[in-house]
Amino acid sequence: MQILITSKKLLETIQKLATRLYETHPDMNEVVFVGIQKGGVVVANDIVSNLQTLHAPKKIQYGQLDITFYRDDIRNEIHSPDTMNLPFDIENKKVVLIDDVLFTGRTIKAALDVLLDYGRPAKVELCVFVDRKEHRQFPIQADYVGVTVETKSTDKVKLLNKEVVLIS
């Protein structure tokens, strides 16, 4: 196991992402933030808490999305679902999806499918903490990237205890 991003760098990167998101969307009224279960929610919690500080006293709209029932590998393995919580209407809103690691793009494809069953957003953006760019299987790119890393396709990249680690 190798540490790719230390907890100090992780904290800085989260702050940078939050600042960029806040600068891009000065009018937060029309924007909602959605973390993808589970890893994405861990990152999203931190990003949204930074955004909330910047935006106080007004409230940031934040929800959590679970893709379990929309996975394309359901016949190989049944996964237990996580909590789905979108406590707002996404119709005509700008939705910023937040995930921890962008790898093949399949999770994001499923997340878009889930999202569209809740309404028709005006725009969907993607914010990821780590981008494993060279392994994409779908034409999906992130609008906000924390760190880009070079990995082998067999590697696993995980967020563990506020650090990003690579397991070969």
Partner 1 sequence: MQLSTRHLLGIKNLTKEDISLILSTAGQFKEVLQRPVKKVPSLRDVTIVNLFYENSTRTRFSFELAEKRLSADTINFASSNSSASKGETLLDTVNNILSMKVDMVVMRHSASGAPHFLAKHIPAAIINAGDGVNEHPTQALLDAFTINEKLGKLKGVKVAIIGDILHSRVAMSNIYLLNKMGAKVVVCGPPTLIPIHIKEALNVEVSYNLKETLAWCDVANVLRIQLERQNQVLFSSLREYNLTYGITKEVLNSLKKEIVVMHPGPVNRGVELDSDVMDSKQSVILQQVENGVAVRMAVLYLLSNRKN
Site for partner 1 in 122-161 (CB under 8 A): none
Token readout for 107 is 């999770």
Specify the residue, 11 or 84, whose C-beta has the smaller distance to partner 1: 84
* Residue of the chain from 15, 45, 52, 68 that contacts partner 1 (CB under 8 A): 68
State how far the Cα of 82 lies from the Cα of 79, in Å rounded to an integer. 9
State how far the Cα of 93 lies from the Cα of 121, in Å rounded to an integer. 5
* Residue of the chain from 11, 22, 70, 162 that contacts partner 1 (CB under 8 A): 70
State how far the Cα of 109 lies from the Cα of 102, in Å rounded to an integer. 11
Taking residues 92 to 121 in sequence order and writing x for each that binds partner 1 by CB under 8 A, - otherwise, the string is ---------------------x---xxx--
38 near partner 1 (CB under 8 A): no
- Placement of tokens 């600068």 in the chain: 23
* Residue of the chain from 56, 77, 150, 154 that contacts partner 1 (CB under 8 A): 77
Structural element, H or E, at residue 55: helix 39-55
Q: Which range binds partner 1 by CB under 8 A, 6-14, 53-61, 76-84, 150-158?
A: 76-84
State how far the Cα of 133 lies from the Cα of 75, in Å rounded to an integer. 27
